[in-house]
A and B are shown apart, each in its own frame.
Chain A
Amino acid sequence: DVKVTQSSRYLVKRTGEKVFLECVQDMDHENMFWYRQDPGLGLRLIYFSYDVKMKEKGDIPEGYSVSREKKERFSLILESASTNQTSMYLCASSFSPLHFGNGTRLTVT
C-alpha cells in the first residue's frame, strides 16, 4: 500500500516566517504534487515535480517554492508566510490515480 507521509499535521506560524512543509513517499514514484484545499474552492495545484530537481508551476504558485533533492521527498516552501496562506496543504504522489498524504493544516497568524 502506498504511503505518503506529511511531517506535520498542524502548524502555526507567524506572518513573515519562512515555512517548510515536508512530504515523503515510499513507492519510488517519479511524480509528486502539492495542493492546497480550501472550503468551497476544492483542491488547487500549487507545484508538481516529475523527477528529482525538476519542478513545474501549477495553478497557484505565487508565494510558494518547492524543492526535490531526492526522489522520495518533496518540500513546499512558503518564503514569507502570509495570512492568506492559512489552509490545508495536501501532498500527493504517483499520477493517475493520485495517492494523498493526511494533510498539514497551516495557520498563519
Chain B
Amino acid sequence: AQSVSQHNHHVILSEAASLELGCNYSYGGTVNLFWYVQYPGQHLQLLLKYFSGDPLVKGIKGFEAEFIKSKFSFNLRKPSVQWSDTAEYFCAVNSGYSTLTFGKGTMLLVSP
C-alpha cells in the first residue's frame, strides 16, 4: 500500500518568507502527485498536480512543486508567502487507477 509522509505538521512563517513543505511517498512505480489546500472554513481545493513531463509544476497563487523521482519527493514551494496563504496543505499520490492516498497535512500559519 502507498503511504505519504509530510515532514512538518505545523509551520509558522512571517509574510514574505519563503516556503517549502516536504512530501515523500512510498510507491516506486509511475505515480500521479497532488497538492491540495484547505483555507479556513473552505473546502479542499487542488493547488497543483503532476502526471508526467516537466518535473517542475506550477500551480495557482504562485505555488510550485518539484517532482524528484530518485528521492520519492514532491515538495511544495513558494518564494514569498502572504497572510492569505494561511491554510492546511495536503500532499496526495495515486498510481494507475488506485485511489488517492493523502498525507496527514501541514498547517501553515503566516503572521502579518
Q: Interface of A with B (CB < 8 Å)? A: 33, 35, 40-45, 48, 58, 90, 92, 95-98, 100-103
Which one of A35, A43, A58, A90 has the highest number of Cβ atoms from chain B below 10 Å of its Cβ?
Answer: A43
Is the beta-carbon distance between B9 and A40 smaller than 8 angstroms? yes
Q: 8 Å CB contacts to A: which residues of B32-63?
A: 32, 34, 36, 42-46, 49, 51
Give A65 Cβ to nearest chain B Cβ, in Å.
18
Residues of A within 8 A of B45 (CB): 100
B interface residues, tally (CB under 8 Å): 21
Q: What are the residues of chain B within 8 A of A92 when measuring CB–CB?
A: 44
Q: What CA separation (Å) do A42 and B34 show in the bound complex? A: 14
Are the CB atoms of A96 and B90 closer together than 8 Å?
A: no
Q: Is the CB of B43 within 8 A of A97?
A: no
8 Å CB interface, B1-59 against A: 9, 32, 34, 36, 42-46, 49, 51
Of all chain A residues, which has the CB nearest B103? A42
A96 touching B94 by the CB < 8 A rule? yes
* A45 contact from B43, B44, B97, B99, Cβ within 8 A: B99
Contact assessment for A100 and B104 in the assembled complex, using a CB-CB cutoff below 8 Å: no
Q: Which residues of B lie under 8 Å from residue A48 when comparing CB positions? A: 99
- CB pair A58–B99 under 8 Å, yes or no, is yes
CB-based contact A43/B102 at 8 Å: yes
